[in-house]
A and B are shown apart, each in its own frame.
Chain A
Amino acid sequence: MKNILLLLCAIVTLPAFSSESVNIYSYRQAYLIEPVVERFTKDTGIKVNVLFAKKGLAERLQREGKHTKADLVLTTDISRLMELTDRKLTQGLDNKVINSNIPAHLRDPDNQWFALTTRVRNVYASKERIGKIDIRYEDLADEKFRGKICTRSGKHPYTIALVSSMISHHGLESAKTWLEGVKANLARKPQGNDRAQVKAINEGLCDVSLGNSYYFGKMLSDKKQKTWADSVHILFPNQKDRGAHINVSGMALTKHAPNKAAAIKLMEYLSSDSAQQIYAEVNMEYPVKSSVKQAPLVASWGQFKSDQLAMDKIATNRQQAIKLIDEVKFDL
């Protein structure tokens, strides 16, 4: 019996003995990570396997428990990072290199997760019909925008995070009034992605929309979408008070990471100048490492003041935010 099991064991674990590698569960599309990862493999010889899915990776990680093959999880917003931490699927990592690269307010106090880039939830406004104005998220509920706002689904993590930050700043009741106001101002039922809203502005269906900043850069570099982007200004909201709402993409080391040493090397690399530079230039995001320059295009949109609300606050109010969105039937 023992011999048979030993043989089975050898067959099953055989591939694991090949060269060093890191396995990533990623909420972010594999093709967006590729440029960074390729560089890392070239420099270190460590192979990186990326498994992308938008849903359910946390469940899979939890069910796999101590036998998981995943070392690292990459996410595109703070709530997913906190979900991993709350479910106790991550482990803390007190690493000098990473700590010096990533400012304290952009990582977990217990070092369970680390932000890699920040992205701002900005307003896109029609050049023709709105122009460069000072705008606050609060204004979106104002009657002057009746029938003029386009946005993606209320259930999208980016929208939820924004609503959650409104709850943190104004309390549940005011946030609800605000959300009802925004809903009343919508030009159409929430639909499509952030780019689709800019496209709609270009077509004149609405005047303002909400979107993440890097999409602006991506649209400008796409032959078809450039016209859309050319029709809008990118506006950073709430510059005269608390600053624009930001979210992060980030990473976390899994609790049972089988290739921990290699994974830490990768994490160090992801926070380094070289990787942050690629993130900044290829994906048009804001690097977390302050010494890394923004891409020239991104820098040309101007500097902005960002909301200093602690990241974990946004995740804490998440449930409340979704309940609000359901209550006002935002998507219906």
Chain B
Amino acid sequence: MYQNLSRKWLVVCWLIALVLVSPIAALVWQSFADDQAIFSHLWQTVLPDYILNSILVTFGVIVLTSLIGIPCAWIVAMYDFPMRKTFIWLLLLPLAIPSYVVAYVYTDLLECAGPIQSLMRGFLGIESGVGGCLYEIRSIGSAILILSLVLFPYTYLLARAAFMEQSASLIKSARVMGCNSWQSFYRVSLPLARPAIVIGITLVAMETLADFAVVKYFAVSTLTTAVYDTWLGYGDLTAAARISSLMLVFIFILIAIEKLGHQKRKYYQKSTGQSNDARKQLSGREALIVLSFLILVFTASFLFPFLTLAKYAIEYFEQSWNNQFLEYSFNSLFVAILVSLICLFIGLLLAYFKRLSVAKSSAIPGKLSSTGYALPGTVLAIGVLVPLTLLDYKINDIFEYFELPAPGLIFSGSLFAIVFAYVVRFSAISVGAIESSLTKVSPSIDMVSATMGISPLKRMFKIHLPLVKKGLLAATTLVFIESMKELPAALLLRPFGFETLATHVYQFVSDEQLELAALSAIVIVFVGLIPVILLNRFLEQGR
């Protein structure tokens, strides 16, 4: 499988990785400056609590998303039951709702002063008033639950693609050899799907670590809180950068632990995929149980928040209708499409480089360019400003040298900054998803094509792409939806006069005025949904 690639591959891949990592490098560099003992002050006061909270939340979300995502994926990939095809894409819809919206909706419903607790107090005859709170909604547990409801589709999507790409003959063999459903899942399918699931979990973990909106809403202080406090409160970017670097270390440890676990094992398969006859028909009672589970997941993660939004949108329609929705939608779409194409390209390039290159270091460009995902968005945005303004200043210097009028901030002051920030942030998704798809393709295919003298580039397009096109599509869709929802980088980096749906929504959400934001949030959901549905049409083709 390995061979000496031409120099061009090496140079291009490393160059891309270095460009993508430059904002993070700028932050790490910043973290070595003098911070006037703020870091040590934090260390002595609140930081240990924050770290513990971060670990608890991340761990909790990993467990819960796996418990929701993997069974859902397994069920729709392996069994036949009524409405199966519908649920395949229904379970992706939660991706389209911004997490802070879900958090808001549930808090409103479940908090001490909310309708459910008031009702329960009335029912139980408990005095409202001091101590009348039955449970505290703004807590770590709720943060874990809400983040899991929003993030489980990652694990679901990647695991499902993996289960579906699994060769039907393997499952049949397992059955023939006397494995029951559970055993064929646990002993055959799960190990095969492991790379994909791990990627899903890593993405979930990184997203959780970088989350600020949800944990803040639930009054849980995490490392992200510390980053913002130090930076905005103490006005000290150095201490903030130091804590961000700590978060990166956290991520590397996570990845390393996983690597240790399956270093030696490698699974490949012939990519014939699951054919219909292998899918087991569920009996009436089994189908009922399975359906109830799926309906519960779908209602909690999408239907209920969405209906609440719709209700707000209708009630506050007049105050929230805006003539510029079309423009905002176009802006969001434009950026999201551009970013997903660039990420697709980068993901392909880096994942292939890792696969084809003989050098041991070939995995590094992919890893480097994935680090941006774990950083809180606003911090990353500041990181992006550093190299871009440096570049802009150099360009202006050249103009000045030729005695021309200065062109101003070509990169940092234009859409380029947003697109760049998104690519830095989301290339982790495409690199990860494409790598995991590729791991399933047997290296013998590469060997055969190499002996036939097919060039790496040609091999990529003619042989690999058709085999992993589902993985590619999944990767691109994830990036697209994330870009539609992305807020912090867009907020800080956009040029004057450029609003996206997300930045428009944020004006109201930042003041906890979801009622006024509901209409635009719904537009985000719809514009984000269309590709989800298209994706599934494609995934399901010929099935």
Contact = CB atoms under 8 A, between A and B. Distances in A.
Interface in B495-522: 495-497, 503, 507-508, 510-512, 515
Contacts, number: 153
B392 interface: yes
A190 interface: yes
B113 A205 contact: yes
Interface stretch (A132-140, A173-181, A196-204, A272-280): A196-204
B378 A55 contact: yes
Contact of A57 (B42, B128, B492, B496): B492
B113 A189 contact: no
A160 interface: yes
Interface string B107-139: 000001100001000000001111111001010
B135 to A, nearest CB: 12
B507 to A, nearest CB: 4
Contacts of A205: 112-113, 128-130, 132-133
B382 interface: yes
A331 B507 CA distance: 25
A59 B237 CA distance: 9
B512 A52 contact: no
Contact of B138 (A191, A207, A332): A191
A67 B413 contact: yes
Contacts of A12: 407-408, 410
Contact of B510 (A1, A29, A63, A202): A29
A326 B41 contact: yes
A195 B515 CA distance: 14
A191 B219 contact: yes
Contacts of B242: none
B507 A188 contact: no
Contact of A322 (B229, B378, B408, B491): B229
Interface string B139-177: 000000000000000000000000000000000000000
Interface residues of B, number: 66
Interface in B382-406: 382, 385-386, 389, 392-393, 396, 398-399, 402, 404-406
B389 A64 contact: yes
Interface of A: 1-2, 5-6, 8-9, 12-13, 16, 23, 29-31, 49, 51-57, 59-60, 63-65, 67-69, 83, 147-148, 153, 155, 160, 187-193, 195-196, 199-200, 202-207, 224, 318-319, 322-323, 326-327, 329, 331-332
20 contacts: A5-B399, A9-B405, A23-B496, A29-B507, A30-B507, A31-B507, A55-B488, A56-B381, A60-B385, A69-B495, A155-B225, A191-B138, A193-B511, A195-B512, A204-B127, A205-B112, A205-B129, A205-B133, A224-B515, A332-B49
Given A69-B495, A200-B112, 6 more contacts: A53-B491, A56-B378, A60-B385, A64-B409, A69-B413, A188-B136
